[in-house]
């Protein structure tokens, strides 16, 4: 019964902010529930500490408007905000426990289900024919991609999507280490996303990531001819329960593939692609040549 009371308290707090069951004008039609839940909890902790919004903002280095926006669920809390609020409110880690969910809700909706599996994956293998994969993108490269979205995204949404993409990259160095393999088509590396400086930074970043002992980066040379990857990008992932999943995505439609036969086919194709791509040393040399050409 206590659980029902807690749910009612959260619901009532939300309705108090926005009007009975209505969304605020600023909130818009699609505010993630994770942001609202974080805001309700922040408001509770602030009031428990005997602070108003201005006082909390002064204590953590944020404006009153920023604190109010987070409490109302209109804006997601960034990690720096959460760390400062944890300290000022003596929250005991409860806000930090929600930060991962807050960050994940910044991702495009179609990708969020797969992101849950990805964050805890034991292994992740992917083939990307057109672009550098998100887990390996630099911030500037990612911003150029989101900036070219059709229909156009607001500056705020571009910021949120970029932050979420960079947050996913914790998988590269997470402990325990995940086994990660990336096969990237040479055409994707040569495709000029942004200016020369953006591409040079992206190539150099690929070389740095490829040096990690749990990461393998291979390039599929343009001269390879026909191969099974020409059907499109895909991911093969092993969960912490040792289940194998596939993932495919096109035109902002993502699909997690659970069927054993389909996932097995993905695995066979990936193995074939691995044998056809340049090995790690050869791939690094090709990327180094690209850097030298700019």
DSSP string, 68-103: HHHHTTSSPPPHHHHHHHHHHHT-TTHHHHHHHHHH
Given this model, what pLDDT does residue 294 score? 78
E strand spans, the chain: 123-128, 179-185, 215-220, 234-238, 244-250, 253-257
Token pair 């930060």: residue: 99
pLDDT tens, position by position, 178-211:
999 999 999 999 999 999 999 999 999 999 999 9
CA distance 282 to 122: 26
End-to-end alpha-carbon separation of the chain, Å?
Answer: 65
Q: What is the pLDDT of residue 119?
A: 95
What pLDDT is stored for residue 42 in this prediction?
Answer: 98
Q: Rounded to whole angstroms, how far apart are CA atoms 107 and 150?
A: 17
Q: Which residues share a beta bridge with 238? A: 123, 244
Pair of tokens at residue 278: 């340049």
> Beta-carbon neighbour count of residue 37 at 10 Å?
17
In whole angstroms, what is the distance from residue 189 CA to residue 287 CA?
A: 8
Predicted TM-score (pTM) of the model is 0.81
- Model pLDDT for residues 5-53, shown as the tens digit of each residue: 433 433 444 443 443 333 433 334 468 999 999 999 999 999 999 999 9
> 176: cis peptide before it, omega within 30°?
yes
Tokens (6 digits) for 144? 């150029």
Report residues of the chain scoring pLDDT below 70: 1-30
Q: Look at residue 279 in the predicted model and tell me its pLDDT.
A: 97
The DSSP output letter for 251 is: T
């Amino acid at each position: 019964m206590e659980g029902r009371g807690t749910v009612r308290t959260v619901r009532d707090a939300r309705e108090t902010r926005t009007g009975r069951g209505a969304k605020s004008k600023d909130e818009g039609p699609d505010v993630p529930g994770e942001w609202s839940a974080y805001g309700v909890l922040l408001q509770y902790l602030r009031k428990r500490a005997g602070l108003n919004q201005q006082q909390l903002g002064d204590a953590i280095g944020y404006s009153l408007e920023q604190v109010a926006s987070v409490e109302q669920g209109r804006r997601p809390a960034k990690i720096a905000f959460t760390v400062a609020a944890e300290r000022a409110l003596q929250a005991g880690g409860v806000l930090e426990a929600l930060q991962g969910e807050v960050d994940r809700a910044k991702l495009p909706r179609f990708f969020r289900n797969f992101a849950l599996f990805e964050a805890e994956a034991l292994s992740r293998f992917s083939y990307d024919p057109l672009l550098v994969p998100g887990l390996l993108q630099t911030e500037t490269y990612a911003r150029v991609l989101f900036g070219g979205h059709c229909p156009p995204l607001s500056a705020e949404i571009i910021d949120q999507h970029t932050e979420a993409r960079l947050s996913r990259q914790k998988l590269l160095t997470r402990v325990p280490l995940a086994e990660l393999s990336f096969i990237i088509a040479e055409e994707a590396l040569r495709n000029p996303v942004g200016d020369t400086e953006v591409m040079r930074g992206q190539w150099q970043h690929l070389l740095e990531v490829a040096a990690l002992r749990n990461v393998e980066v291979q390039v599929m040379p343009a001269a390879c001819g026909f191969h099974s990857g020409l059907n499109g990008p895909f991911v093969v992932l092993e969960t912490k329960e040792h289940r194998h999943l596939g993932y495919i995505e096109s035109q902002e439609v993502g699909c997690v593939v659970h069927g054993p036969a389909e996932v097995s086919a993905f695995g066979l194709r990936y193995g074939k692609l691995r044998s056809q791509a340049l090995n790690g040393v050869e791939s690094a040399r090709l990327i180094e040549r690209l850097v030298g050409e700019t």
